[in-house]
Amino acid sequence: MKQGKDKGSAFAICTKAFQDAGKPLFVGESESQKLHLFSESVKLDGNKVSGVAIHPKRIFHPEEGLYHEYFREELEKAAPSAAGKPFGIDHRYVLPPPNLMTKGAYDAAEDGIAFEGVVDDDIAERIRGREFKGISIEIDWMKPGGRVECVSGGDGAAPTIAARNFEVTSLHLLRQFPPGDKDAFIRLWNAVMEQQTPEDLGKRVEGLNVQLSAINSKLDAMASRAVMKEESKPAPVEQKSEPAETEATVSLRKKLVETEAALADSQKQFRAFKEAAEARFNKLVKDFRESHPEPYIFHGWSFGPQQMIAVQKRILLETGA
């Protein structure tokens, strides 16, 4: 970047150099040695993952002889900083693109920092093969306003410290170390999709449509009342202002936008599920047909195998395949 390259180009050049040398992108022991990854110009191409990185917990760090307390309010503030940050392995090095988190938010239902991201085929296969024992976040409290404070200790037990105003710098997949937060997890998005059925997704889309209809009806009713109230007031002849929206109306409009986004996401998932199901079905039919023998082989078989092939062909015909 000192040579005038933008962040994306500089990142690509450095990553290429490490890959050509067959070396991992090293994360050193001090803050100045860390190689931070920027995703502005990085093309994401890989397997979608999601999970929960950490919950409000008190976790013992044996290498330090300390407990680390993660407070809910601090995790809520830090959650969005996960977006654009890389995945790593065992807190030893971070992975090259496309291995990074694309979204971070605090999930009240899970009571933890939820994330979405992308990993390459190799990491996806290792996740699928259950190679990793868990996940662990890496944080930075050295930014302006950040600090670490001692929240307990001095009674013979190991001291407890807590970071304040920190940000998430990476999320590490653990091979050699047990996770401090055993409830944290990462999963492949495809695996999540496969657990749903078209009926589940259809019901979700139907429910969201009902919600949208109800919200729009409320907005129309509130708008009508606001107009009637405004028109009942005496107003100067030369000026007629639009009725101001109430907090309730603004809240409903926000809910409308969120519901529309959820509906669009569900419809996208439904289409993806349907396309994947059709692709699997077409492949099954193709493999089924290709497994049938040529006539000169078929006629040499006994009655039993011939009957089995006849039944298979009848099934294919009845299903329209």
Q: Is residue 124 a part of any domain in this protein?
A: yes
Strand order in the sheet with 87-89: 25-26, 93-94, 87-89, 167-174, 134-140
Q: How many domains does the chain have?
A: 2
Same domain for 68 and 133: yes
Q: Is residue 98 a part of any domain in this protein?
A: yes
The tokens describing 140, both together, are 């930075």
Same domain for 84 and 179: yes
- Residue 160, strand partner residues: 67, 152
Same domain for 279 and 182: no
Structural domain harbouring 279 = 198-231+245-288
Taking the chain (321 residues) in runs of 10, the rounded mean pLDDT of each run is 68 64 48 31 60 91 82 95 93 90 91 92 90 91 88 70 93 88 79 51 66 70 66 56 61 74 75 78 79 78 80 75 64
Same domain for 52 and 129: yes
Same domain for 118 and 69: yes
Instruction: Give residue 50's Cα distance to chain centre.
Output: 3
Same domain for 222 and 93: no
Contacts by residues 276-284 (CB-CB < 8 Å, ≥ 24 positions apart):
276/193, 277/198, 281/321
Sign of CA dihedral 97, 59, 53, 85: negative
Same domain for 132 and 58: yes
Same domain for 178 and 52: yes
CATH of the domain at 190: 3.20.16
Q: Is residue 224 a part of any domain in this protein?
A: yes
Q: Are 100 and 39 in contact (CB under 8 A)?
A: yes
Same domain for 119 and 257: no
Q: Is residue 73 a part of any domain in this protein?
A: yes
Q: Are 164 and 147 in contact (CB under 8 A)?
A: yes
The pLDDT score that the predictor gives to residue 226 is 64
Same domain for 189 and 203: no
Q: Is residue 161 a part of any domain in this protein?
A: yes
Same domain for 178 and 208: no
pTM metric for this prediction: 0.49
Q: Is residue 20 a part of any domain in this protein?
A: no
Q: Is residue 52 a part of any domain in this protein?
A: yes
The tokens describing 169, both together, are 């710098």
Q: Is residue 158 a part of any domain in this protein?
A: yes
Same domain for 56 and 147: yes
